[in-house]
Amino acid sequence: SQTIHQWPATLVQPVGSPLSLECTVEGTSNPNLYWYRQAAGRGLQLLFYSVGIGQISSEVPQNLSASRPQDRQFILSSKKLLLSDSGFYLCAWSGSFGGLGANVLTFGAGSRLTVL
């Protein structure tokens, strides 16, 4: 069965410091991968998605970047964090054989980032 892992689960960083959140998927190949951000415990905003190694699409221009160095690895980064980067970051994957219907997203447990 497919599983998705995100880490770290919680992170407290000072303004101006770098960021790296990692996401890996097991049990599937060539997944579509996504990074969402959730502010204030409510709406989900798509930040980046990737359909393959090295292929990144950005939905919202901002202080963050994403990379996909391996088929099942998706990394969210920042060189200098801002206060407004605080939030709950969710990685997700989808695939044609997700078992729940074509292209249904399955989410990781999330990474809570607090920028002070």
Partner 1 sequence: GQQLNQSPQSMFIQEGEDVSMNCTSSSIFNTWLWYKQDPGEGPVLLIALYKAGELTSNGRLTAQFGITRKDSFLNISASIPSDVGIYFCALYGGSQGNLIFGKGTKLSVKP
Contacts to partner 1 by CB under 8 A: 6, 32, 34, 41-44, 46, 49, 51, 57, 59, 90, 92, 94, 100-101, 103-110, 112
SS3 state at 83: helix
Q: Output 14 or 29, the one with its CB closest to partner 1.
A: 29
Q: Which is nearer to partner 1, 53 or 82 (CB)?
A: 53
Between residues 11 and 105, which has the closer beta carbon with respect to partner 1?
A: 105
What is the DSSP code (8-state) at residue 79?
S
The SS3 call for residue 59 is coil
Is 24:5 a contact under the CB 8 Å cutoff? yes
In the block, which residue shows the tokens 């399955």? 106
Question: CA 5 → CA 22, 23, 74, 82, distances in Å?
Answer: 8, 6, 10, 25
Tokens for 92, please give them.
């997700």
Tokens 């991968």 belong to which residue? 33
Nearer to partner 1, 5 or 79 (CB): 5
